[in-house]
Homo-oligomer: A and B are copies of this chain.
Amino acid sequence: MADLTPLLAFRWSPRSFDPTAALTEDEATSLLEAARWAPSAGNAQPWRFALGHREDGTWKRILVGLPSGDQRWARHAAALLLGAHTGGDPERAAYDLGQAVAHLTVQATALGLHVHQLTRFDRAGVATELDLAVGVRPMVVVAVGQLGDPFALPEDLLGREAELRRRRPLADLLLA
């Protein structure tokens, strides 16, 4: 890997979260502020969030929308954050939401927290559970918390946790 700033180089998406750690009020505010100050087309800021702390009502409504395999580990994260967009042009709004969540992730890393994003979940179900307005489109569930003991994971998840991070070669990304 080329020289990357530590906040990017040390970022990864774990499945092992500390089930005893909470997300503090200051941490939650800091994460949301990072998202809030992301850039967006025409400064439209089409991102919206629902934050559930472990075991609270919002958390339960988000958790039940996740695939059962992911619930096994995501339930241990300190918080589950739903990311949605309000875009008239869904593609542009999703682009901006992606930036906001990336900024949130960088801030989480700066706070010593870890983030694992989930994009496969019951979007319509979560929208209903959280009573979202028409036009607010859930796109991602962000599990955030302190890193936990990977050996507490079920064996199949431990195997995935130990996999090397891989990406396409840089040359494959270049158009011109």
| Chain A residues close to B by CB (< 8 Å) | 1-5, 7-9, 11, 13, 26, 29-30, 32-39, 41, 43, 45, 47-52, 58, 61, 82, 84, 90-92, 94-99, 101-103, 105-107, 110, 117, 119-120, 130, 132, 136, 139-140, 165-168, 170, 173-176
Contacts and interface: CB of A to CB of B under 8 A. Distances in A.
Contacts of A98: 94-99, 102
Nearest to A175: B50
Contacts of A32: 170, 173-174
A134 B167 CA distance: 23
A174 B50 contact: yes
Contacts of A37: 1, 4, 8-9, 11, 165, 167
A49 B173 contact: yes
B7 A7 contact: yes
B120 A175 contact: no
> Which 9 A-B pairs give the minimum distances between C-beta atoms?
A98-B98, A102-B102, A5-B110, A50-B176, A95-B98, A2-B33, A50-B175, A99-B102, A41-B119
